[in-house]
């Protein structure tokens, strides 16, 4: 009997200790499931809805409500509720701050003065209410959980709930801080990008003005040099003809002709003038390009079928691409009406495709042109299977006068003029991707309604 009594007492003691320590089991479950709920949620409303499920599974209660303190309005208003009972109207915070700043375990709300006129409006059926503040990094919330019977929430229940609430507040604060840091970093990055872009735009604008000025100033001297050279070319032919005829009819003149090596001089003079005229034409081309870069012709912009322009441009470049590269043009669209200058737009296509032809290996090169419609725009992708563009080069390919070609073989204005033309039409031109398997340029232009 003695041992049985002692054993019985020991069992009672263990039951007591087990009941007391069961709080930790509940807290552990709440924290595990609560963390899961927070991690799975996109926003505070979703977090709260999931937390309501977690709480009501482990800590039985009739209703759960979360209210938020609006410091500017000095009000507190329900922001999330598990049940749609009661009025979610705003209450004046200062009248109720003694309920919202600490844990308050109301075991009998009927004894609380003005309950039904205040918090009772939110929870009209409640007899017991447990109130606890949750202050996160960005907001002040208040949990309210209720039951329809008196004294529903024991001290142990309260302690478990308070522990869990502290965990929720800390975890939400951490997430809010992390999100703030991420947003701040993104904003800083965006600001830097905009600043870089503004510097670039200013540089381009200055360059455009400079180019326009240079083109204008050089245009006249180049005009009369060209005119004079053309005249000189004509004069030299006539001088050559006269000198040869005269020397052939007079021995003394013939002797002087040969002594002065006039045969070489006259031949070389013609060549010199021809070369000068050739250089003149190149200089004129550059001036025209500079003018196009600084002032794409706006007046000739009109509605046109982008697909027709692409096809027309490809007929030109295909002669250049013959036996070197295969060019495929693919689209499911029948037409793609946009507003642009047909010649300039064709020039853009030709520029990009020509660059692609030069980039790919002869014989195995392939260029795919694909046009699709996306969000009221046409998107034209010109993709090659070349070696890609170096990182350093990539940053400058749209800069005027930037070229990777040998001196004299390229002006470095092709892509910059192309971008200016596309932007003039309200679109954008960008290098969408580049890598060892090739590069893709994207032309994006608004479709006409």
Partner 1 sequence: MQVTLKRIELKDSPQFSDELHGSEINHADLNIAFGDVDAISALATVIKDKSNWIASSSCQGAMSNLGNDMGASFVHVMSVANTQGAIGIASCDIGEGDVTEQAESTIVSAMQRANRLGQMPNLVWIVQAPGQEEKVLKGVQAILGNSVPIFGGSSADDAIEGKWLQFDGKQLYSNGLVIAALYTEKPISCYFSSGYTFTQKKAEVTAVDGRVLYTLDNKPAGEVYNQWLQMYGEAPLKPGSILSDSTYFPLGRDMGSKSEPIPLLSHPSKLNEDDSLELFATVQKGEILTLMHGERHNLISRAAEVTEVVLRTHELNYESQAKGLLLVFCGGCMLAVKDQLDQIHRSILSKAQGLPFLVAFTFGEQGCFPDGKSRHGNLMISATVFG
Rule CB under 8 A: which residues touch partner 1? Answer: 1-2, 4-6, 8-9, 11-13, 15-21, 23, 104-113, 115, 128, 149-155, 157-159
Phi, psi dihedral angles at 407 (to 5 degrees):
-55, 130
Q: How far apart are CA 122 and CA 86, in angstroms?
A: 5
Q: How far apart are CA 372 and CA 358, in angstroms?
A: 25
Residue closer to partner 1 by CB (options 13, 209) is: 13
Residue closer to partner 1 by CB (options 107, 276) is: 107
Q: H/E element holding 116?
A: none
Return the exposure string of 19-55: e unless at least 16 CB atoms fall within 10 Å of the residue's CB, then b: eeeeeeebbebbbebbeebbeebeebeebbbbbbebb
**What is the distance of C-alpha 371 from the center of its chain?**
21
Q: Which tokens belong to 430?
A: 């960008």
Residue closer to partner 1 by CB (options 108, 437) is: 108
Residue bearing tokens 């069961």:
22
Strand order of the β-sheet with 325-331 is 325-331, 365-374, 377-384, 438-446, 428-435
Instruction: State the minimum distance, in angstroms, from the CB of residue 136 to partner 1.
Output: 24
Instruction: State the minimum distance, in angstroms, from the CB of residue 148 to partner 1.
Output: 12
Q: Is 219 buried (19+), middle (13-18) or exposed (0-12) by CB count in 10 A?
A: middle
Instruction: State the minimum distance, in angstroms, from the CB of residue 69 to partner 1.
Output: 21
Instruction: State the minimum distance, in angstroms, from the CB of residue 195 to partner 1.
Output: 54
Instruction: State the minimum distance, in angstroms, from the CB of residue 59 to partner 1.
Output: 13
| Residues 181 and 173 sit within 8 Å (Cβ to Cβ) | no
Instruction: State the minimum distance, in angstroms, from the CB of residue 73 to partner 1.
Output: 27
Residue closer to partner 1 by CB (options 106, 425) is: 106
Instruction: State the minimum distance, in angstroms, from the CB of residue 117 to partner 1.
Output: 15
Residue closer to partner 1 by CB (options 61, 349) is: 61
Residue closer to partner 1 by CB (options 149, 216) is: 149
Indicate the Cα dihedral angle 33, 35, 39, 45, nearest 10°. Answer: 80
Instruction: State the minimum distance, in angstroms, from the CB of residue 169 to partner 1.
Output: 19
Residue closer to partner 1 by CB (options 55, 307) is: 55
Q: How far apart are CA 203 and CA 445, in angstroms?
A: 25
Residue closer to partner 1 by CB (options 104, 378) is: 104
Instruction: State the minimum distance, in angstroms, from the CB of residue 65 to partner 1.
Output: 18
Q: How far apart are CA 341 and CA 299, in angstroms?
A: 8
Phi, psi dihedral angles at 286 (to 5 degrees):
-60, -40
Residue bearing tokens 């926003």:
43
Residue closer to partner 1 by CB (options 124, 435) is: 124
Ramachandran region of residue 375, left (φ > 0), alpha (ψ -120 to 50) or beta? left
């Amino acid at each position: 009997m003695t041992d049985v009594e002692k054993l019985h007492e020991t069992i009672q003691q263990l039951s007591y200790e087990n009941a007391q320590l069961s709080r930790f089991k509940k807290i552990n479950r709440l924290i595990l499931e609560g963390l899961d709920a927070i991690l799975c949620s996109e926003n505070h409303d979703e977090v709260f809805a999931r937390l309501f499920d977690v709480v009501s599974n482990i800590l039985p209660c009739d209703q759960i409500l979360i209210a938020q303190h609006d410091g500017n309005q000095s009000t507190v208003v329900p922001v999330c509720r598990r049940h749609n009972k009661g009025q979610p109207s705003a209450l004046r915070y200062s009248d109720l701050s003694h309920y919202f700043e600490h844990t308050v375990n109301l075991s009998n709300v009927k004894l609380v003065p003005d309950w039904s006129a205040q918090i009772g409006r939110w929870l009209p059926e409640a007899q017991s209410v447990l109130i606890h503040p949750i202050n996160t990094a960005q907001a002040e919330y208040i949990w309210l959980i209720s039951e329809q019977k008196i004294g529903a929430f024991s001290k142990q229940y309260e302690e478990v709930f308070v522990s869990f609430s502290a965990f929720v507040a800390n975890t939400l604060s951490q997430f809010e801080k992390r999100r703030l840091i991420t947003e701040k970093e993104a904003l800083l990055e965006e600001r830097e990008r905009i600043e870089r872009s503004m510097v670039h735009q200013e540089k381009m604008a200055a360059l455009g003005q400079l180019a326009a000025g240079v083109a204008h100033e050089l245009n006249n001297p180049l005009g009369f040099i060209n005119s004079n050279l053309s005249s000189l070319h004509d004069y030299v032919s006539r001088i050559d003809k006269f000198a040869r005829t005269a020397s052939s009819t007079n021995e003394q003149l013939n002797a002087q002709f040969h002594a002065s090596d006039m045969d070489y001089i006259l031949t070389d003079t013609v060549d010199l003038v021809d070369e000068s005229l050739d250089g003149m034409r190149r200089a004129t081309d550059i001036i025209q390009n500079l003018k196009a870069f600084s002032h794409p012709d706006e007046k000739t912009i009109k509605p046109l079928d982008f697909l027709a322009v692409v096809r027309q441009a490809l007929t030109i470049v295909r002669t250049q691409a013959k036996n070197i590269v295969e060019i495929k043009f693919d689209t499911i669209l029948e037409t793609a009406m946009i507003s642009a200058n047909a010649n300039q737009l064709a020039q853009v296509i030709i520029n990009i495709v020509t660059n692609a032809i030069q980039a790919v290996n002869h014989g195995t090169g392939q260029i795919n042109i694909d046009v699709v419609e996306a969000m009221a725009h046409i998107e034209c992708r010109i993709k090659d299977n070349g070696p890609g563009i170096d990182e350093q080069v990539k940053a400058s390919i749209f800069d005027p006068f930037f070229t990777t070609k040998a001196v004299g073989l390229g002006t470095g204005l092709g892509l910059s003029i192309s971008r200016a033309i596309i932007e003039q039409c309200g679109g954008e031109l960008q290098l969408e991707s580049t890598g060892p398997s090739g590069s893709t340029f994207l032309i994006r232009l608004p479709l006409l309604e």
